[in-house]
Structure 1
């Protein structure tokens, strides 16, 4: 049971925002997570950054907005700039239940020299809609972190206080440093010690919480045993088939996962400090974390094996967290039954359920028709092979082309045994010839 009362996103609405005329996502279940799937230029990052700005006060939103390049307000495709006075709107509805919804409406107005950011805040209950002053809005009920596709492997920042604008800054500034994972773990362990009075209780409970952290990381890193992760006097070490290695020596997938996950937990810890709620650490579980995490290109740095399970493992590890992620990866999209997938198309979106699909099938709904082979291979090898095979079946092949056909068959033989391309090509050509004979 969560002991905090943080809010979840209930609805996102964008209007005249870059490539989106009108765009809306309703989160049917409270706190439900989603995955946004799309091509480059479809607006995945724009959606996440809009959500991030829409969760901040107007001063923080303005600061984040200055990190974005180009115009934000949608313009007509026939002109270079948006019309003066035209507006883009971001609406974020939040709730923690009880029938009360809070709305943050962020308005970006196109002016002659720049775009201005303004904000309105509302409290909704049934048909009642009341505008709130900034000081009356429950900002302390929004716990959000954000991560861009940049340097998730770099964790050397030392941060003392939780501020939402700082926690989502890496979503806008890709070279922003995350918090030092070793420092974050040690702070949390030290804090739980402070919740007990006797030396034995301090030692026992700090060790138990460290074991929980190690178990969490071992699951996310696909390790067999939590004992493969150790917090030593000189840093975090990971043991595997490679032996023992410091985190900094590990591949980007290991570094990035440990760094951003501990960064997120560290922000939660700092939020607990601000709310004088460190006693929550005594529960020794991260299932109590209630908040929102925005992750752009979640597949970054991850081996395909990890991509298939990353969302499922995050949901299992942090059941109280609303993850809103983007991806290009069909393996990520087909890897979790708990998360709805929104595929972007032409400024709109539709919900698909690709859980369990093959990568080829996900590629097809992303608009990548035909084979996923390299186009050069398709054209120069497979295409040429099918052309010569057709001529051989027709009896029109020349002698000099027969040697070329043999070379191509040798090249096709290098494909995996499970790849039936050579056989299917021959069947297709024979079928084509039989149809002609009819």
Structure 2
């Protein structure tokens, strides 16, 4: 089938160009093979590259013999999925499996491919199964199969990654779908190198080691320069699936951007003319990063406006109405962690899609995997973190883990997946039966996380016994009076449960006359 190539618009007027439109092995992706571009192929799936409305998401993930999972399947909401489980219950394993599933796309980019073996199925990832003799045996193949969307109109796309051997010389093997996904990444890279304004999807993993790694907050930026490769749009895929993304990468880029913007300002002032288009582009990107960070940080903390400051030892600083201006390295763990998280997302969005300007964080599609999204945050901030992330990056799909009932109380149960065992002892992912959105944290803790809000202190059994006696009207028996005295000494009269029991006793006495 012949069709006018969408690259034709960038050719000199009058140039006639016909290109072959065909379907790739990757389940329906249309590619345009351009004869005037050395035979390179370009994606035909996103005809309007300026919209930022491209659909990119994971729909389901199936695991076989991967770490703790023998057979396991989970579905994801198109916008937000929150994973909960007990410690060691498999939350992080699901995120790591998603990393493996996303790896074929990322390795299609030269710089993305530097993530390396950490985003594949390692020998130690193969499940060990116990046997009656007491030994543990590895179970192969170890398989991760995914279904999702990678362009606007295609659906039901499947690909698979597996390890079939424990030999050190072997690697993860992809099926035809995985290989086509890699080719798709390469085609996007070719588009970028042809100066096409194709909108690139963001893919990123933010693990629990994202706070500061190898002193990444404390390095002064006096000698900050960018490596040649870091000028490329595709450098945003560098280490995007690594366990610990480097804040230094963002710092170097942001400071370079800030200095370039200041230089453009000075040149415009000296010449008495408007700032150059390049300078205005720098200004928009800086504004986009600031706005994204402020969406998550300003309301709950007062801190805002991430800037480069030459007067603060050439570091990044934040502003506060009461505490003034401080370097980022002097802020709390919760603040630094959130800054690092949002900065990583905003940096990659702006780097991938500079043609979107200040709307890059709002319009860049993609998939973000975040482990312990509430890490180091005060409960008040935990109640807003997920909503703020969605507001700052509305085109992204977020798959996150948490242990916080405060986080769960701000989302609907349709967005939650509880990882646990079914009646046969198999690990499954299910939606909670109880309501979560707008519910008190104590209610979510009990009904969804299956945890008693009352902690297991030494006095708990006695308090339960005393509650039973009072509810049955036996509060005036000697043993109840003695127990009341003992528990009051331990918990004080201000304890809410004791106050409730005393009110109940007063009502019962009044009714008795």
Which TM bucket (shorter chain)?
0.7 to 0.9
State the Cα deviation string for residues 66-96 of structure 1 (Å, max 9, x = none): 7969443352464543356x21211122322
CA contact (8 A) 2:69 2:127 kept: no
Structure 1 stretch displaced more, 254-263 or 419-428:
419-428
* C-alpha deviation, 1:150, in angstroms: 2.1
Structure 1 residues 32-431: aligned runs within 5 Å = 32-57=79-104, 63-64=117-118, 70-73=124-127, 75-76=129-130, 78=132, 80-83=135-138, 86-95=140-149, 96-111=151-166, 116-122=171-177, 132=179, 136-138=183-185, 140=188, 143-154=202-213, 155=216, 160=230, 162=235, 164=237, 166-170=239-243, 177-189=246-258, 200-202=274-276, 206-223=282-299, 229-233=306-310, 234=314, 235-272=316-353, 278-281=354-357, 283-337=358-412, 340-346=415-421, 347-352=427-432, 353-369=435-451, 371-379=452-460, 382=463, 393=475, 395-397=477-479, 402=482, 405-406=484-485, 408-413=487-492, 415=494, 419-424=496-501, 427=504
**Segment drifting more, 211-220 vs 106-115:** 106-115
Q: Contact between 1:6 and 1:143, CA under 8 Å: does it hold in 2?
A: no
Structure 1 stretches of at least 4 aligned residues deviating more than 6 Å after TM superposition = 58-62, 66-69, 112-115, 190-198, 224-227, 387-392, 428-431
Cα distance in 2 for residues equivalent to 1:231 and 1:4? 32
Q: Does the alignment pair 1:16 with 2:65? A: yes
Deviates more, 1:13-22 or 1:200-209: 200-209
Bigger Cα Rg: 2
Which shows bigger deviation, 359-368 or 221-230? 221-230
Query: What is the CA–CA distance in structure 1 between the aligned matches of 2:431 and 2:255, rounded to whole Å?
Result: 42
Offset of residue 106 of structure 1 = 0.6
The answer (yes or no) to whether the contact 1:33–1:339 under 8 Å persists in 2 is no
User: SS of 1:162's equivalent?
Assistant: helix
Deviations 1:230-275 (A, max 9, x none): 4422322331433332211111111111122112222334434xxx
Distance 1:307 1:69 in 2: 36
* Partners of 1:380 and 1:34 in 2: CA distance: 37
Q: Deviations over 1:281-309 (max 9, x none)?
A: 2x545212211110011111111111101
Indicate if the aligned counterparts of 1:33 and 1:323 stay in contact, CA closer than 8 A. yes
- C-alpha distance in 1, partners of 2:466/2:407? 34
Q: Normalising by the residue count of structure 1, what TM-score does the alignment of the two structures yield?
A: 0.76
Specify whether residues 325 and 69 from structure 1 end up closer, same or farther in structure 2 by C-alpha distance, changes over 3 A only: farther
CA distance in 1, matches of 2:119, 2:182: 22
SS in 2 for 1:22: strand
Report the secondary structure of 1:14's partner residue. Answer: strand
**Distance in 1 separating the partners of 2:59 and 2:473:** 61
**Bigger mean CA offset, 258-267 vs 311-320:** 258-267
Query: Number of matched residues?
Result: 405
Q: What TM-score, normalized by structure 2, do the two folds share? A: 0.66
CA distance in 1: counterparts of 2:238 and 2:137, whole angstroms: 27
| More relative contact order, 1 or 2 (CA 8 Å, 6+ apart) | 1
**Residue 275 of structure 1: aligned partner:** none
